[in-house]
Amino acid sequence: MSKQINVALIGNPNTGKTSVFNALTGLNQKVGNYPGITVEKKEGICKLPRGVKAHIIDLPGTYSLNASSLDENVVIELLLNKNDKDFPDIAVVVSDVENLKRNLLLFTQIKDLEIPTLLVINMSDRMNYKGISLNIDYLEEHLQTKIALISTRKNEGIGRLKDLIANFKDLPITPCLNASEIDQDYFDNLRKAFPNQLLYKLWLVITQDVNFGKTDRKEIDAVANFKTKSKGDLKRLQQKETIKRYQFINNVLKKGQTIDVSQAKDLRTKLDRILTHKVWGYAIFFVILLTLFQAIYDWSSVPMDFIDNVFASLSEWAKDMLPNGAFTNLLAEGIIPGLGGIVIFIPQIAFLFLFIAILEESGYMSRVVFLMDRVMRRFGLSGKSVVPLISGTACAIPAVMATRNIESWKERLITILVTPFTTCSARLPVYLIIISLVIPEGRFLGLGYQALTLMLLYLIGFGVAVISAYILNKILKIKSKTFFVVEMPNYKLPLFKNVALTVIEKTKSFIFGAGKIILAISIILWFLASYGPGEQFHNAENIVKAEYITQNLTEEDLQQKIASHKLEYSFIGITGRAIEPVIRPLGYDWKIGIAIISSFAAREVFVGTLATIYSVGSDDEETIKNRMAGEVNLVLGGPLFTFASGISLLLFYAFAMQCMSTLAIVKRETNSWKWPLLQLVIMTVFAYIVALLAFQFLK
């Protein structure tokens, strides 16, 4: 059995690198962050021929080893640091058959680092369609490598790719060209000064801002300080290097690649003309959003009702079958209802991620970014700000991280500050349960009122984010210039495997990430709701019996009154009563107040909290929705969740700061507590005022 080998997947953005990663690893993958930084790290395990195991790292997309972002720095730092545990035994460079010339720049640079490098040419199924033919033998000979021609869509060439990775020791490590010819004297002096180091590695250390981890710091500093040229001269040398590499690539492709323009059938231009049109582009995007939100409601109603009833029955079963006691109460009134409050939303969250994955996979999302740049620029943002704002519909944390691709610090800071206004999937459970309680089920022009309300909340969040950006752009006196460049990938039918893996991975991380918090909070809340100090709690039965002695209550009604009295004087009841005067003007009672506070850990905790509080002392087999619908406003009378209080609550959650994890990531990205604290105070005050006005006006 051979040892595990490290494989680095490297390539330009939009070359299908993720598809190759999914084809190799399947479900044997995990997503985390690189230690100490907010760049996403994807890794997985692949079984190769002869029992070889490959540890595959999907590195962030990069155009070259001349880093201009944090993502690209990660690639360089790994390739230059042999002491890193993930240092690759083989670099697999993924290229796109239609953009081979541009993709080969990165390939030739990695070859200069003398790492065994394999070239993967992806999307081979498009060659006939685009009139492209390749001379693989010629390309392998002149690029000094082996080539795997694959199609992840048709699952072709994956077996050969695995064979080539397993036999990585047979790959030549000689560079494709001699890049030092751009200034022979300079590179000769560099070689003499550091005779034991790889020449191209020395060049990258001098020209890039790279962190080398465990590498000898003194040696690296000595190389970095090798100053025989000014910054301007080094920049000119980098440009010369790029030109020389492209001259070599052009010469190779003259014989290695043939493109018959007459065969190329270009539908892309016609589609772009419609989808990025200054009128039709926005109309189509709006229709897509409408369809998306209507489908989220229509398709998920059956599985949601089923899950809701299952958890209600499970809670009842636990009470009936297990012996009476604290553990049974914890399970039936705390853990099961708490978890039910999040599991019920799996269908809708899965559908949301499904649609987002399809839009990204098809290439349409890049058109949306381009389209929205026209709007964004008027508000002091870049078109690139749309990426965090749209990805914020999944979660604010990766959305805030995604701002690192924005070059201008001012635009990046503004985007970080306004992104939490975008409706994240953690808010979705709150929106869905409240909308189902207070918005009728009728339809307008075939579209449900509930779906329209949900879409309106997303649009309001996005609108407030953009208006806030405009105000911040006027207030913040930070000078910066930037330009907007976005790559338009080819349109393609979404690959089922990629979409499925994205939905599974995102839903799983959402459920398990929220599940841990909800489980912990459910236990704490159950304890606080089941125990309390003083006579009013401990002597509840006698107090209630004395109070209702003149009324002929049934045993069931009496037990309900006792449970309600104990809850009111429990630890959680006392805490809730203390904060109730602050939230009563918004139409909320103390139970909603507790749910709002606990949901600062994670927004989706709101429903689980109310499910736990309403379950304590209740013997009824009821669903979460029914329990919430049956709650009574003790001050005003009538249902607690009315149209006025429901809209107030929806608007509060639309504008309030999302969660403490978002605060932490904003602090990390801005390297200061000033911005997240300002964000927290301003968003909370704004949310409170809007919710107050909404309730007072609508009641």
Among the listed ranges 17-26, 249-258, 353-362, which one has the minimum average pLDDT value? 353-362
Q: How far is Cα 687 from Cα 650, in angstroms, rounded to an integer?
A: 10
For a pLDDT cut of 70, what percent of the chain falls above it?
84
Q: What's the pLDDT score for residue 37? A: 42
Residue whose C-alpha is closest to residue 149's, from 141, 167, 138, 161: 161
Selection from 133, 68, 95 nearest residue 14 by Cα: 95
**Is residue 217 pLDDT above 60, yes or no?**
no
Give the span between the Cα atoms of 13 and 133, in whole angstroms.
Answer: 23
- Greatest mean pLDDT among 163-172, 510-519, 531-540, 624-633 lies in 163-172
Two tokens at 327? 């553990």
Is the model's pLDDT at 54 over the cut of 60?
A: yes
Confidence of residue 621 (pLDDT cuts 50, 70, 90): very low
Cβ-proximal residues to 215 (8 Å cutoff; 6+ apart), any chain: 80, 81, 82, 83
Of 103 and 197, more confident: 103
What pLDDT score does 468 carry? Answer: 92
Confidence (pLDDT) at 33: 47
Which of 481, 699, 521 has its CA nearest to residue 609? Answer: 521
Q: What pLDDT does residue 510 have?
A: 65
Judge whether residue 162 has pLDDT over 80: yes
Residues 6+ apart with CB under 8 A from 398: 40, 391
- pLDDT given at position 161: 92
* 256, two tokens: 């290695």
Lowest mean pLDDT among 391-405, 436-450, 592-606, 631-645: 391-405
Listed residue (519, 508, 510) closest to 339, CA to CA: 519
Give the pLDDT mean for 206-218: 58
Residue 353: pLDDT above 80? no
CB proximity list for 645: less than 8 A, separation 6 or greater: 438, 586, 587, 588, 633, 695, 699
pLDDT at 487 over 90: no
Q: What is the mean pLDDT of the chain?
A: 80
pLDDT surpassing 70 at residue 432 = yes
Domains and CATH numbers, the chain: 5-170 (3.40.50.300), 266-531+570-699 (no CATH)
pLDDT at 94 over 70: yes
* pLDDT confidence bin for 251, thresholds 50/70/90: very high
d(CA 587, CA 697): 11
Read off the tokens for 320.
């009936």
Q: Which residue has the tokens 């985007």?
A: 415
Range ranked top by mean pLDDT from 393-397, 464-468, 553-557: 464-468
- pLDDT at res. 690: 95
If pLDDT is split at 50, 70 and 90, which confidence band does 35 have? very low
Where do runs of H (alpha helix) occur along 440-570?
449-475, 496-530, 534-538, 540-547, 555-568
Radius of gyration in angstroms for the set of CA atoms belonging to the chain, rounded to a whole number = 30
**For residue 138, what pLDDT is reported?**
92
- CA-wise closest residue to 506 among 642, 619, 350: 350
The 8-class DSSP code of residue 638 comes to: S
- Please give the structure tokens belonging to residue 480: 């910066």
CB 194 within 8 A of CB 223: yes
Of the pLDDT bands very low, low, confident and very high (cuts 50, 70, 90), residue 216 is very low
| pLDDT score, position 357 | 81
Model pLDDT, residue 109: 92
Torsional sign, CA 689, 690, 692, 697 = positive
Which carries the bigger pLDDT value, residue 284 or residue 624? 284
- What are 543-596's pLDDT values in tens digits? 888 887 777 777 777 777 777 788 778 888 888 888 889 988 998 888 888 888
Cα separations in angstroms, 399 against 363, 390, 467, 683: 19, 8, 18, 18
- Under the banding of pLDDT at 50, 70 and 90, the label for residue 473 is confident
DSSP letter at 495 equals P
The pLDDT tens digits of the residues spanning 257-280 come to 887 765 555 667 788 888 888 888
pLDDT-based confidence at 105, cuts 50/70/90?
very high
Q: Give the residue, 33 or 309, on which the prediction is more confident.
A: 309
Confidence of residue 522 (pLDDT cuts 50, 70, 90): confident
- Among 254-268, 307-321, 325-339, 495-509, where is mean pLDDT lowest? 254-268
User: What is the reported pLDDT for 215?
Assistant: 46
